[in-house]
Structure 1
Amino acid sequence: MPKNYNMKQVILPLDLEIIMPEDDICFAIHELIESMPEEKFTTFKQETGRPSFHPRMMLKLILCAYTQSTFSGRKIENTLHDSIRMMWLAQGETPSYRTINRYRVHPLMAPIIQDCFVQFRNLLVQENLIDETAIFIDGTKLETNANKFTFVWKKSIERFSTALIEKSKAIYQELLSNEIIPAIEIDNEAELSTQELMAIEDELSLAVETLTQEINKESNGQKRKAIRSQRKPIKLARKQVANFILRKEKYKLDFEIMGARNSYSKTDTDATFMRMKDDYMRNGQLKAAYNLQIATENQYVLDYEVYPNPTDTRTLPDFLAHYQNKYQQLPDYIIADAGYGGEENYQTVLETYQRTPLITYNAYEKEQKRKFKKDPFKTTNWPYDSEQDYFICPNHQKATYRYESHRTDKYGLTRDLKIYECEDCQDCPVRKSCTRAKSDNNRQLQINPKWESFKLTIKELLSEKETGKLYGKRKIDVEPAFARLKANLGFSRFSVRGKDKVRQEIGLALMAINLRKLIVTCRT
């Protein structure tokens, strides 16, 4: 006999909290948001108008939806009607998808999301889930909400801008030589400014107006036709100059938007076109994306930031400053892969923050191989006399110190190089194996003492048992966070546009994977 089934009878209990399991993720979300101070939410208070939904509730709903891989505002709205945990968190409220989307990207939500990570970290410390001795840093590229054919390339704009300058100067000289307009005062002989082009346009408009008045006064048809023929090239030149003005302003705006980047997307101007790993066609196609940087410990994401530059090298100093500003201190060890190995990064960690960098450099793995160590033509293997400051080349010639060179890269970092030169390489029997230079000049070595000192420090740190073991945890600590974000959570593309909004959305997604991992840890 089947159990009683009656849709017209009221079933107890009515409290949804009793129905859900005690270890449901919605309780963890509820406790985390409730632990945040009330003053964090006072910025949403308003004196007039209809009372708004409480930001605590909205943050709980959005976080809960993200933990269930629901990122669309409309789908989140639907879950308020068919998800028990969402109905319990909302306590009967049913905000629309417009309200949900508005709260998700609201500027006042940004500090609340950041404080949410601070509260979560405090919880991890209380539960002894992290020991605060090290952070593991890595980056990944995430596609933005932009069409892949909306690219603007810096090299193209530079080429178009240069051609525009030459054309505008040529047409100005032609107008002067034909005595169509008088000479105007030019500040820069190299190019015509927008104001100067506008002055040329005004002169051409005046010339067109003068010829038009002559046509209106003339009654002879042949003369009217001759004047119109005279006016036609002037009108074409005016149209061309007006087009120059529009293009010049557009190129100026493109350069302002691009800044130090090489490209940007018309759909999301903060995004940069990057080479993605998911290149299924293997044709090197670039996509508009952001470079996401995260700092983890015990596979929990403690901090994050998004950058428009595709490489990781330039992000570390700013990211460390962001971490210290959030938590007021940095752990003892900063651990990252070879993508962060650079002179500026080592200098920032060692000298600015006085921390220990466990960061390899690009050639580290190669230098550890037996073949590299036994290669006499590698300059790192050349014997060095520190007292007399010279190297011994494979042909047993001295490479002595000649002079010092200072080089500044495009980012403003100055490197101090010491230049060494061999005594005589004219009849060297191993010259072809020693250098690829086609000239007959003596072999030169460019040595960066600071960089070599940093490399030696890293080699010593990674050769020690304790620090070497700590660096070995990097792959199993930070990489799983990206796997949970992209594979488990299904978050591989942003649904909002603009760096500020993207930063808020990825914060919600990263907190979602933190909460999911916390629940799994508590259950086990």
Structure 2
Amino acid sequence: MSHHIKGQPRHQSTFFPEAIDDFVTEDNPVRVIDMFVDHLDLLDLGFETVNPKLNGRPGYHPSTMLKLYIYGYLNRIQSSRRLEKESHRNVELMWLLERLRPDFKTIANFRKDNGKGIKNVCRKFVELCRQLNMFDDSAFAIDGSKFKAVNNKSKNYTPTKVQAHIERTEKSIQQYLSQMDTKDGDEKDIDTTVSTSKLAWLEQRLVELKALEIQVNEHPDKQVSQTDPDARLMKTQHMQRQVCYNVQSAVDTKHHLIVEHDVTMTTDRGQLTLVAEQVQKTLGKQDITIIADKGYFSRNDIKATQDLGMTANVPQTDTSGSEKKGIFNKSLFKYDKDQDLYICPAGEELPHRRNVTEDGLEQKVYVNFYACRDCDIRDKCTRSLKEPRKMRRWVHEDEIDAMQQRLDDNPEISVVRRQTVEHPFGTIKMWMGSTHFLMKRRKNVSIEMNLHVLAYNTEENDDNNGDSWFDGGHQAIMGDLA
């Protein structure tokens, strides 16, 4: 006799609940999705077919499709084919869609055709959180992360790579020609059909590569991705190279919600002001605090954020390369703010001589010709036999110094940044799986990212105790919507 728990016979008749609503508990997340979408003005947000045409076959309402996608991305189901399958067997989706079962093509077309509306819904959720005062007294950590595109590295070409392919192909052609000449001189009757076919293929490939070389050299970024033209070859973790997109995000340090994000095709440098300014617009206030890593350090960017009323915290980078050259680093030259001069490692004063403009920055030049000429440790200061060592200082460097002092006095700022902004990237990549994006081109990739961010924000923890947002936070949303 078995002591295991036994199931019911599959052919036994059962009485299901009278309403499918009985299968969905009161605190089920699908109820939040349903109420949230029903309270949105989809026409105002930019969704198509809200007001359908009177002629032709009726279509699904945008609210139905939006609910399906929010549920899908919230439950790691991004594929349109898998969403179609789930609508046939998933009780929660049966409740949410009122037993509608759209086909995968309809599902995919909705996502492709309603990028503007989906982005506005993502912002609408952040706006709702702002109305609930969730971003009060918060700083915002900004960072970028590389997400793999639908483009294999072998289908990405740079000038160096395409030249290597051309040389290899030309070498192969020469080898086949040599082999065919050898066979022609042989008395034996040898079939050269295979060699001729291979040679023709190589010659055609060489023509394609030379056309590709022209295309690569004419491209502004000097690279061409054949599968996804918008994707770019970038350095990722451990200095590896991968064809990807660089997703920028701003995350609040209080609730770890993604307040603003953008899909870019460049590195982090130069993105600080663009992302931070969007955060200001989203929150409707100027005096915000932003934190970023040294990859964002740019004097123009930091000055711009401070001019916009923000407090920036970005570690300064040292790119002088003096230590590698075996000479004194700039950090060994001490600046005297009161006298506006530098004191070199030999104890000599370098006064301000003139101003110059380099790379769009107005800089003050400090130099002491006579002291440098007769200095005993000159060889440790400069490699030039004629020119003395010069110090350059940006005219707004005092603001950079104040920011660096703030970071030195509060070392926990960098820890807060890592704990805040790196968690969302790791979570979303885990949801995506090994392939990351499913769609091609930046426009479509941005739509995917909007859905992932919306799903992440709705499920993000309300505190650090592991309690889900839906364990309590959804009550506030439902109450506010009601």
With normalisation by structure 1, the TM-score equals 0.70
Q: Which amino acid aligns with 1:355?
A: M
Q: Which residue of the partner structure matches residue 290 of structure 2?
A: 334
Aligned residue for 1:149, secondary structure, equals helix
Structure 2 residue aligned with 1:417, among 348, 360, 363?
363
1:240-274 deviation per Cα after TM superposition (whole angstroms, max 9, x unaligned): xxx99x99997776567x43x24231111111011
Query: 2:59 is matched with which residue?
Result: 52
One-letter code aligned to 2:276: L
* Cα offset, 1:52, TM superposition: 1.4
Pairing 1:91-240 to 2, within 5 Å after superposition: 91-106=98-113, 109-131=114-136, 133-153=138-158
Which residue in 2 is equivalent to 1:200?
Answer: none
The Cα shift of 1:418 comes to 2.1
User: Distance in 2 between the 1:387 and 1:477 partners?
Assistant: 39
The one-letter code of the counterpart of 2:361 is R
What are the Cα deviations for residues 391-442 of structure 1, in whole angstroms up to 9, with x where unaligned? 332223332333322123xxxxx0112222232434533233333x153432
Structure 1 residues 395 and 127: alpha-carbon distance in aligned structure 2, compared to 1, 3 A threshold: closer
Q: Against the structure 1 CA distance between its residues 359 and 418, is the aligned structure 2 distance closer, same or farther, given a 3 Å change threshold?
A: same
Secondary structure of the residue that 1:313 maps to in structure 2?
Answer: coil
Which consecutive residues of structure 2, in runs of 5 or more, have no partner in the other structure? 166-205, 462-466, 473-482
Matched residue, 1:269: 229
Relative to 1, partners in 2 of residues 1:470 and 1:32: Cα closer, same or farther, differing over 3 Å? Answer: farther
Tell me which residue corresponds to 2:315. 360
Aligned to 1:445: 391
- Judged with a 3 Å threshold, the aligned counterparts in structure 2 of structure 1 residues 386 and 143 are, in CA distance, closer, same or farther, namely closer
Tell me, yes or no, if structure 1 residue 20 matches structure 2 residue 24: yes
Partner of 1:305: 262
- Per-residue CA distance 1:119-167 (angstroms, 9 max, x = gap): 322332354543264322111000001122111325678999xxxxxxx
Deviations 1:37-71 (A, max 9, x none): 24336632342432211111111111211122122
Cα-to-partner distance string for 1:190-249 (whole Å, 9 max, x where unaligned)? xxxxxxxxxxxxxxxxxxxxxxxxxxxxxxxxxxxxxxxxxxxxxxxxxxxxx99x9999
Q: 1:385 and 1:42, CA in 2 relative to 1: closer, same or farther beyond 3 A?
A: closer
Kept in 1, the 8 Å contact 2:290–2:310? The answer is: yes
Give matches, 1:311-350, under 5 Å: 311-330=267-286, 332-350=288-306
Aligned residue identity for 2:404 = K
Question: CA separation of 1:300/1:384 partners in 2, compared to 1, >3 Å: closer, same or farther?
Answer: closer
* Cα distance, 1:328 vs structure 2: 4.4
Residues 368-412 of structure 1, C-alpha deviations (whole Å, 9 max, x = no match):
xxxx9xxx954444344556644332223332333322123xxxx
Alignment of 1:36-75 (within 5 A): 36-39=40-43, 40=45, 43-44=48-49, 45-47=51-53, 48-75=55-82
Residue 521 of structure 1 and its aligned partner are, at CA, apart by 3.0
Residues 492-501 or 15-24, more deviating = 15-24
Q: Is the 8 A contact 2:246 2:263 kept in 1?
A: yes
The one-letter code matched in structure 1 to 2:242 is K
Q: Is the 8 A contact 1:401 1:421 kept in 2?
A: yes
Change (3 A) 1:4 1:263: closer
The residue aligned with 1:477 is 420
Q: Indicate the residue corresponding to 1:515 in structure 2.
A: 458
Question: Residues 416 and 448 of structure 1 are in contact (CA less than 8 Å); yes or no, is this contact kept in structure 2?
Answer: yes
Equivalent-residue separation in structure 2 for 1:295 and 1:434 (angstroms)? 42
CA contact (8 A) 1:67 1:489 kept: no
Residue type of the alignment partner of 2:56: G
Question: Shift of residue 517 of structure 1?
Answer: 2.0
Q: Report what 1:459 is aligned to.
A: 404
Instruction: Please name the residue that 1:77 is paired with.
Output: 84
The residue type equivalent to 1:98 in the other structure is K
Q: Is the 8 A contact 1:26 1:64 kept in 2?
A: yes
| Cα distance between partner residues in 1 of 2:13 and 2:133 | 49
2:346 is aligned with 1:395: yes
Greater Rg over alpha carbons, structure: 1
1:23 counterpart letter in structure 2: D
Aligned to 2:176: none
Partner of 2:33: 29
Answer yes or no: is the 8 Å Cα contact 2:354–2:364 preserved in 1.
yes
With normalisation by structure 2, the TM-score equals 0.75
Which of 368, 371, 377 matches 1:430?
377
Q: State the alpha-carbon separation in 2 of the partners of residues 385 and 127 from structure 1.
A: 48
Partner of 1:479, secondary structure, is helix
Whether contact under 8 Å (2:142, 2:292) holds in the other structure is yes
CA shift for structure 1 position 117:
2.3
Please, which runs of 5 or more residues in structure 1 have no aligned partner? 161-242, 365-371, 409-413
* 2:123 maps to amino acid: V
Q: Give me the whole-angstrom Cα distance separating, in 2, the residues matched to 1:81 and 1:359.
A: 50
Residue of structure 1 in register with 2:357 after alignment:
406
Residue type of the alignment partner of 1:481: P
Q: Decide whether aligned partners of structure 1 residues 305 and 71 sit closer, same or farther in structure 2, where only a CA change above 3 A counts.
A: same
Kindly tell me: are residues 71 and 134 of structure 1, through their superposed partners in 2, closer, same or farther at Cα, counting changes over 3 Å? same
1:354 deviates by 1.5
Q: 1:56 and 1:387 mapped to 2: Cα distance? A: 65
Letter in 2 for 1:333: T
RMSD (CA atoms):
3.5
Structure 2 distance, partners of 1:51, 1:132, is: 49
Identical aligned pairs, as a percentage? Answer: 23
Matched letter for residue 407 of structure 2: L
